[in-house]
Amino acid sequence: MKNKFPFHNLSSLGYTMPAEWEPHRGTWLTYPHNPKSFFTKLKGSQEAFADIVMHLAKVEEVHVNVNDEAMARDLAGKLKKRQVTKNVFWHRFVSNDAWCRDHGCIVLKHRQTGSLVATDWIFNAWGGKYPAAKDNRIAKKMAEFLGLQCFSFPVVMEGGSLEVNGQGVLLTSESCLLNKNRNPQYSKAQIEALLKAGLGVKKILWLKDGIVGDDTDGHIDDIARFTDPRTIVTVIEPNKADKNHEICAENLALLKSFRDLDGRPFRIVTLPMPDPVYYRKDERLPASYANFYIANGIVLLPVFGCPQDKQAISILQKLFKSRSIVPVDASDLIVGLGTCHCLSQQIPG
């Protein structure tokens, strides 16, 4: 492909973004600390975060960004209570907020050699909604620590907007990546070219809108996820009076129409939505079981204390037969408008 835009063509160099279920060296996280995001639920969110670190440290390296020594001591104390004694590494990478999925580097793997490179995209806090200058420096720092060559792209992109099957297909949403608060200078066709070159994929599948309450303008990781190269799990809302009903139904219909690189339909599995979650009476939060995170041997699943929790666990356990489904109480985390997947960024092995 001709280099029509100011970016690197990593696909032509043999690199691609691995699927999340492929082996990890570790997971990178940023400690929740912003009271303007978590309000009165900050301490509870930090406890849930410590649970996430505890579960991950049993199966892979865990790298945590902290702003200062006081923050490191606070989390270390929580981990000591949980008897976490290994596999946790601290980094003084100062952040604005906790959402490492979006401000962390995205690591690609060479198709033949297995060598890794990092990609650094512009993070503008979901269209300039919040401060992001500190977050926007973290990707390069991660790459430097990992000893990876880092390719920077002058394009706004967030990890939560991208979902790949590891075999050339990328799933995303129009409401996010085509939003004028991201890259208004580029057309849909140009965005597709950027994704293909920068992430080493061959086909882009576009869903429509994100769920109610999602301040990211519709990240895919609250809507639909690959669980293997040919299976997509997506959320549905059976209550026709709920605003998410039509949104989810439209996306489900689109998913059923999609085809893989060989022209075959995907296997589509549905997940329920949890009961609506609110922080204030008029503020619907984007609670979703699709925001699970796949690690070595486990899947971290956000749960919300409602009957659908058990349904979601059962559905995902059937899809991830070789992994344990680990529920994480996300009742406080969701006040920050994200949960397990939003917090985490995988480092391929």
CA dihedral for 47, 346, 198, 235, sign (positive or negative): negative
Rounded to two decimals, the pTM is: 0.97
pLDDT value for 233: 98
- Spans of all domains in the chain: 15-348
Check residue 343 and give its pLDDT: 98
Q: How far apart are CA 288 and CA 274, in angstroms?
A: 7
d(Cα 207, Cα 4) in Å, to the nearest integer?
Answer: 26
Is the distance from CB of 173 to CB of 209 less than 8 angstroms? yes
Is residue 5 predicted with pLDDT exceeding 90?
no
Task: Decide: 139 and 121 in contact? Cβ < 8 Å.
Answer: yes
**Given the structure tokens 């204030």, which residue do they identify?**
280
Give the catalytic positions in this structure. Answer: 342
* pLDDT confidence of residue 7: 73
Residue 100 tokens read as 């490492």
Instruction: Tell me the mean pLDDT in the region 175-188.
Output: 96
How many Å apart are CA 221 and CA 215, to the nearest integer? Answer: 13
Higher pLDDT among residues 280 and 3, named by residue = 280
- d(Cα 252, Cα 96) in Å, to the nearest integer? 35
Taking residues 101-129, report their average pLDDT: 98
Structure tokens at 6: 């100011």
CA dihedral 258, 214, 317, 80 (to 10 degrees): 140
Residue 249: what pLDDT? 98
User: Residues with Cβ < 8 Å from 179, sequence gap 6 or more?
Assistant: 127, 217
Neighbours of 138 (CB within 10 A): 24
SS3 165: coil
How much is the average pLDDT of 96-117? 98
Assign 44 to helix, strand or coil.
helix
Mean pLDDT of the chain: 97
Which residue reads 């297995």 in tokens?
114
Q: Quick one: what percent of the chain has pLDDT higher than 90?
A: 97
Q: What is the pLDDT of residues 216-227, one digit of tens each?
A: 999 999 999 999
- Using left for φ > 0, alpha for ψ between -120 and 50, and beta otherwise, residue 21 falls in alpha
pLDDT band for 284, please (50, 70, 90 cuts). very high
CATH superfamily, domain at 15-348: L-arginine/glycine Amidinotransferase; Chain A (3.75.10.10)
pLDDT for 282: 85
Per-residue pLDDT at 228: 98
| Token pair 């989390």: residue | 75
Q: Is the pLDDT of residue 162 over 90?
A: yes
Q: Assign residue 4 a region: left if phi > 0, alpha if psi is -120 to 50, beta otherwise?
A: alpha
Q: What is the pLDDT of residues 209-249, one digit of tens each?
A: 999 999 999 999 999 999 999 999 999 999 999 999 999 99
Q: What is the pLDDT of residue 16?
A: 98
pLDDT tens sequence across 120-149: 999 999 999 999 999 999 999 999 999 999
| pLDDT 10s digits, 15-68 | 999 999 999 999 999 999 999 999 999 999 999 999 999 999 999 999 999 999
Q: Pick from 76, 25, 87, 14: which is nearest to 50 by CA? A: 76
Position 170, amino acid: L
- For residue 191, what pLDDT is reported? 95
Per-residue pLDDT tens digits for 290-311: 999 999 999 999 999 999 999 9
Q: What is the pLDDT of residue 281?
A: 84
